[in-house]
Structure 1
Amino acid sequence: MNAVTQNEAIATASTISQADANALKAGDVVGGGFYAGQIRQADGLYILVVAPKDGGEHDDAPWHTSTQRIDDARSFFDGRANTAAMVRAGVALAVWASGLNVNGFNDWYLPARDELEVVYRNLKPTTEENYVYRAGDNPSSVPAGYPYTADTPTQTPVVAFQSDGAEAFDDESWYWTSTQSESLSSYAWGQAFGLGSQNNNLKDNEFRARAVRRMKVQ
């Protein structure tokens, strides 16, 4: 593959047309993983792609073994930037995510808080009622997310992502986001996939993690 062709392939893999993005449904295969929704970044609109569970999910591990503050890992919407900051600080979980090569893609990262909320909302594994205290408030998602009701969101219709499905998030586990607490250096945000609650948790807690990547809508 010559340089021009290679660059074109990279561009194609990292972008998607508005029409193609609008045609996607949660759980559709795209970009090396599965479509989870749309998220707005500082430079525009992106689709969010969840990595396959096989190769893209990490077993229980701490966010970090140190309580040091990582100032550039506090974005609620830009998990890519958070992950890069975590890698610079030597965070093993971030090194794992950024080092993935899954289905030919190597730009995976740990999702920010608002990114992982989109995943829960659109790929919820259970039929359980949602946690309704603040959960679901998401100004970064497109459309913007509003606080959950007990019955909304509902369980995903995508069988593979329903509880015990091949791609399902563990509904008895918390998942780390890449968003550090904005006020407490020893805490970072996690997302529960049983009831959808979000909370700051001590960094030395051992939670699961699932990598994502994104494609810019053009």
Structure 2
Amino acid sequence: MQTNPITLPAFGATIPGQGGTFAAILRAPRVDGAEQPPYALIVSDAAAGEFRSQWGEYGKDVAGASSRTDGRGNTEPMADAGCPAALRVRELRIDGHADWFVPSLGELNSAAANVPELFSTEGWYWTSTQGSRYYAFVQDFEDGFSSWSGKDVEHRVRACRAIPLDLLTA
């Protein structure tokens, strides 16, 4: 069987109609044990989708927000628990899209590897990956380090979304 390969844009390319910049290709989380197709991570423009916020309440465990690979899956329980970063991302409407999320540790690590120039080197960015009831993971874009921070500390948040790979070439 012959397949027709698609030509993808370079990391860092603005994707028309998708609200931001192509940052990574990632494996989608399994659904009911089944493999899902990979997806493209789109990072919002800083002017439209970056802000400072606390992650959530220090000492409060957010069940369902510990995935290292599924930002969308983490953001929903964060928002349901009243976490300010997730609530603000959930309100975003950029380029007609309302499916923005706080990226997971793996998603933000991938952005740091592929498009660090899109992020400020001043301070840390929250991920949606909870480390414990007290801490969540953060990503640095000056040196590429990941660490954790108290959930009640204010850091940068950059909204992301996941799209099928074929939308990169539409």
> Among the aligned pairs, what percent are the same residue?
33
Structure 2 unmatched ranges of 5 or more: 31-35
Deviations 1:94-128 (A, max 9, x none): 01111100011110000000000111111123xxx
Q: Does structure 2 retain, via aligned residues, the 8 Å contact 1:67–1:186?
A: yes
Paired residue type of 1:180: Q
Corresponding position of 1:53: 46
Paired residue type of 2:43: V
Which of 127, 142, 167 is the equivalent residue of 1:177?
127
C-alpha displacement of 1:216: 2.0
C-alpha displacement of 1:29: 1.3
C-alpha displacement of 1:77: 0.6
Which of 6, 11, 20 is the equivalent residue of 1:33?
20
Corresponding position of 2:92: 100
Query: Partners in 1 of 2:27 and 2:146 — Cα distance?
Result: 20
Deviations 1:131-162 (A, max 9, x none): xxxxxxxxxxxxxxxxxxxxxxxxxxxxxxxx
Corresponding position of 2:9: 24
RMSD value, Cα? 1.5
Corresponding position of 1:162: none
Corresponding position of 1:199: 147
C-alpha displacement of 1:65: 2.8
C-alpha displacement of 1:44: 2.4
Give the TM-score of the pair, scaled to structure 1.
0.68
C-alpha displacement of 1:66: 3.6
Secondary structure of 1:75's match?
coil
Task: Report the CA distance shift for 1:203/1:44 in structure 2 as closer, same or farther (over 3 A).
Answer: same
Q: Does structure 2 retain, via aligned residues, the 8 Å contact 1:45–1:217?
A: yes
Secondary structure of 2:11's match?
coil
Secondary structure of 1:44's match?
coil
Secondary structure of 2:162's match?
strand
Corresponding position of 2:66: 74
Paired residue type of 2:153: N
Paired residue type of 1:55: A
Structure 1 unmatched ranges of 5 or more: 1-16, 126-167
Q: Does structure 1 retain, via aligned residues, the 8 Å contact 2:42–2:161?
A: yes
C-alpha displacement of 1:71: 1.7
Corresponding position of 1:64: 56
Deviations 1:148-180 (A, max 9, x none): xxxxxxxxxxxxxxxxxxxx3110210000000
Paired residue type of 2:21: F
Paired residue type of 1:213: R
Which residues in structure 2 correspond to 1:154-193 (within 5 Å)?
Answer: 168-181=118-131, 184-193=132-141
Q: Does structure 2 retain, via aligned residues, the 8 Å contact 1:73–1:178?
A: yes
C-alpha displacement of 1:18: 6.3
Corresponding position of 2:114: 122
